[in-house]
Amino acid sequence: MSSETLAVGQPAPQFRVAAYGNPSVVSLDALRGKIVVLYFYPKDDTPGCTTEGREFTALYPEFQAAGAEILGVSRDTVASHEKFACKFDFPFPLLADTDETLCKAFDVLQEKNLYGKVGIGVERSTFIVDREGKIAYIERKVKAAGHAAAMLRIVKQLP
């Protein structure tokens, strides 16, 4: 699926990606019937990404009670995800999109300029996929603090 078709109401791009957590490989098909909160973040164990992950962790029981699963995604390796998840006790899988397939499918790679150095990085973004596998919500340019609570409010409104 090309990124031009990513819009609310459209089927979410299918994926099967290695992860740290249970299960060790995550596919969207296997989560059919659940709401999926797929949040893309730039890098393990950095301040904003830690804030975001810890806030999702704090609210994880409420997400589960609402029938939702949380998946964090970055271009880091499974080993890096393991260190990050263990350090902060993240209860949800972290997907290792090392080949950028998922990042490209969801069109989250953007040109970034950091201290005069231009490169391609992950734009902090969240996609909520409904129980039928369709995109229910998209947010780009996410601010980490308070984001998890905002996503929980949206999840609770979904059928």
What are the residue numbers of the active site?
49
CA distance 74 to 41: 5
Q: Residues with Cβ < 8 Å from 157, sequence gap 6 or more?
A: none
Of the candidates 69, 74, 124, the one whose C-alpha atom is nearest the C-alpha of residue 102 is: 74
Angle between helices 47-65 and 78-88 (to 10 degrees): 70
Q: Write out the E strands in 28-140.
A: 35-40, 68-74, 94-96, 109-114, 117-122, 125-129, 135-139
Of the candidates 50, 104, 100, 56, the one whose C-alpha atom is nearest the C-alpha of residue 75 is: 100
Q: Which whole-number Å values give the CA distances from 46 to 7, 8, 62, 150, in the listed order?
A: 29, 30, 25, 21
